[in-house]
Amino acid sequence: MTTPRLRREPGLNISEHSYKLVTLVEHLGDLLMNLNPEFRRKGILTLAYVLDNLPVDFLGPDDLQYLVTFFCDRLKDHHTVIPATLQGIRAIVKMDLPPNSSIFISTSLFQHVQCQQQAVGDRFNVYTILFTLMDKYMKELLSVTPDFVFGVISAIDGERDPRNLMFLFTMLPFFIKTFPLGHLTEEMFEVISCYYPVDFRSTTSIAVPSQCFVPAKRRIVYIQETELIAMSFLFKTDPSSVTREDLALELENCLTAIPDFSELCLPLLMEKLDSSLRIAKLDSLRLLRAACNNFTASALGQHYMELFRLMQLELLPGSDRELKDASLLALSALVRLFSTSALDKHEAKWLPDLLAAVYRLAESGLCDVELIMFSPATSVLLEVTRASPAACQILVSKVIPVLVAQYNFKKGDRERSILLQTLGSFHTVCQEHGDSLSKIYILWRDVFPVFLDASNQPNEDLRRESLKGLTGMAGTLTDESRAQLLSRLCGCITQEIVSSVRYEGVSCLKALAQLYPDQVFKALKDADITPHF
């Protein structure tokens, strides 16, 4: 019998019924049953290629059941046949398999394929098959959770290729959150934590199948459970194109995937944060942020003072800007967690105790504007006040009296100008938290005389900074203070000779006009000023 000539896409011939799958299998029989494993490999590869080009809903349950049995049986074949068999399985798992096929396929893979002994691309195919089954047939696999979890752990344990690791790190959070790990929790964590912190250097390019690409961000998703689609992935074939930062970012999501990882993750994090290696510190600080987003306050509360102790050297003096910024973000995340969590009576002290430690760290620098540590100290306090309204209220109530006292004591215009800038910055943070800080605004009303006094000083920098600050306070002033400010602004418009100062005065007047238009226009009319805004 002469074999019909297939078009370039054989799957189309079959899907258009010009060529039957059973006919193809019959013609491949000599290859599929050949004693030579190389011929069997070619036969299976041909069948896999055809299946990969068929519509996912084309084959019926009987055909699919036969193919599932056939390919799983081929996993017991010669090792040279395994790669082609994996491609065949990868093709059919995208289809609507008969009931319990996912269990049969995954069990066969775990029993007959030593994943880490396969080539890079073949390992990728194993991972793709497993995660496809996991996503499409989750309910079935949940019924055999312990065996499936153990099989996945065994399959990925020891993976070293950066592209495969990138794929795994992207997919594993979904797996970890979906399948209860039970007694395998620690083993699962150990398998992924061995890569932390990521110590990766680019290697020479490795030849792999075109399917072995590297995902950059989100996990693979399925549209209508029929088509495997890579969403927001960077497809790269060269292992050197995978960066250490890519791997580190995705690994964070794995290490903090579930709250049960907290008792394993936090000690590891602190150990690496105490390291002398800069990259280990950076990774640990980023991991701490992720931990604050995924673990409970109770878990972090067991270690919060030790965590702060490890961070404080990076916060002040903060000579390494990247480490300081990472520390501030991590500290803010911890403060935010304590501020927003429901805590019992014992746990409720964690936030004030942590903020007290932050203030003590910055206090010596904050107390003298002439010290070189003043700016670093205020930057730390400002960032932490942004973390939550509660943190802002506690810290600002301590900071404002210190800054006001210095302004009243210091005589230098430069120092006073810096103090006004700093007060203005803290006021801006308070405004960012909105109405939740009504108690703090009472304190700011006491600061108003400082800014009003500065607006009348001979030094133009003082006048300019004071007017900037008063613009921010426009909505929090008492009627009496607002009247005083309007009188000063009218004088600024008519008498100020420095254009930049006059500009700030007009800006402040506009801010007041938006809130109290009648009062502003009356003040302008009384001062015989024609408004142009």
87-113 per-residue burial string, b: 16 or more CB within 10 A, e: under 16:
bbbbbbbbbbbbeebbbbbbebbbeeb
State yes or no: pLDDT of 16 exceeds 60.
no
Residues 144, 123 contacting (CB under 8 angstroms): no
Phi, psi (rounded to 5 degrees) for 131: -75, -25
Q: What 8-state DSSP symbol labels residue 502?
A: H
State yes or no: pLDDT of 17 exceeds 60.
no
**pLDDT recorded at residue 208:** 35
State yes or no: pLDDT of 503 exceeds 50.
yes
Residue corresponding to tokens 């990925």? 156
DSSP strand E in 350-410: where?
none
- Residues 52-77 have a mean pLDDT of 91
Q: How far apart are CA 4 and CA 23, in angstroms?
A: 10
The band of 371, judged by pLDDT with boundaries at 50, 70 and 90, is very high
Peptide bond into 146 cis (omega under 30): no
Output the CA angle 211-212-218, nearest 5 degrees. 95
24-40 per-residue burial string, b: 16 or more CB within 10 A, e: under 16:
bbebbeebbeeeeeeeb
Residues 6+ apart with CB under 8 A from 419: 369, 403, 406, 407, 410
**pLDDT recorded at residue 98:** 96
**pLDDT recorded at residue 435:** 65
The three-state secondary structure class of 109 is helix
Q: How many CA atoms lie within 13 A of 205 on its CB side?
A: 9
**pLDDT recorded at residue 18:** 45
Percent pLDDT > 90 in the chain is 69
The three-state secondary structure class of 510 is helix
pLDDT tens figures, 158-179? 999 999 999 999 999 999 999 9
Average pLDDT of the chain is: 87
pLDDT tens figures, 104-130? 999 999 999 999 999 999 999 999 999
pLDDT tens figures, 421-467? 999 999 999 888 876 666 777 778 789 999 999 999 999 999 999 99
The three-state secondary structure class of 223 is strand
Question: Pick from 228, 235, 38, 249: which is nearest to 136 by CA?
Answer: 228
**pLDDT recorded at residue 300:** 97
Residues 6+ apart with CB under 8 A from 190: none
State yes or no: pLDDT of 5 exceeds 70.
no
The three-state secondary structure class of 228 is strand
The three-state secondary structure class of 229 is strand
Residues 6+ apart with CB under 8 A from 241: 214, 234
- Residues 276-293 have a mean pLDDT of 96
DSSP assignment of 165-222, as one string?
HHHHHHHHHHHHHHS--GGGHHHHHHHHHTT-S------------TT-----SSPPEE
**pLDDT recorded at residue 453:** 92
Residues 500, 460 contacting (CB under 8 angstroms): yes
Residues 165, 159 contacting (CB under 8 angstroms): yes
Q: How far apart are CA 197 and CA 271, in angstroms?
A: 11
pLDDT tens figures, 433-443? 876 666 777 77
Percent pLDDT > 70 in the chain is 87
**pLDDT recorded at residue 366:** 96
Least confident of 47-61, 314-328, 450-464: 47-61
**pLDDT recorded at residue 202:** 60
The band of 318, judged by pLDDT with boundaries at 50, 70 and 90, is confident
pLDDT tens figures, 267-283? 999 999 999 999 999 99
Question: Pick from 382, 275, 292, 274: which is nearest to 334 by CA?
Answer: 292
Question: Pick from 17, 41, 9: which is nearest to 28 by CA?
Answer: 41
DSSP assignment of 124-151, as one string?
HHHHHHHHHHHHHSHHHHHTTHHHHHHH
Residues 6+ apart with CB under 8 A from 356: none
Q: How far apart are CA 467 and CA 509, in angstroms?
A: 10
The three-state secondary structure class of 449 is helix
Query: Alpha carbon of 519 to those of 20, 448, 468, 472, 506: distances in Å?
Result: 87, 19, 20, 18, 15
Q: 320 vs 434, which has greater pLDDT?
A: 320
Q: Is the dihedral of CA 271, 275, 277, 281 positive or negative?
A: positive
pLDDT tens figures, 218-253? 333 332 332 333 333 333 456 667 889 999 999 999
**pLDDT recorded at residue 107:** 97
Residue corresponding to tokens 């795994």? 168
Peptide bond into 197 cis (omega under 30): yes
Q: How far apart are CA 47 and CA 436, in angstroms?
A: 66
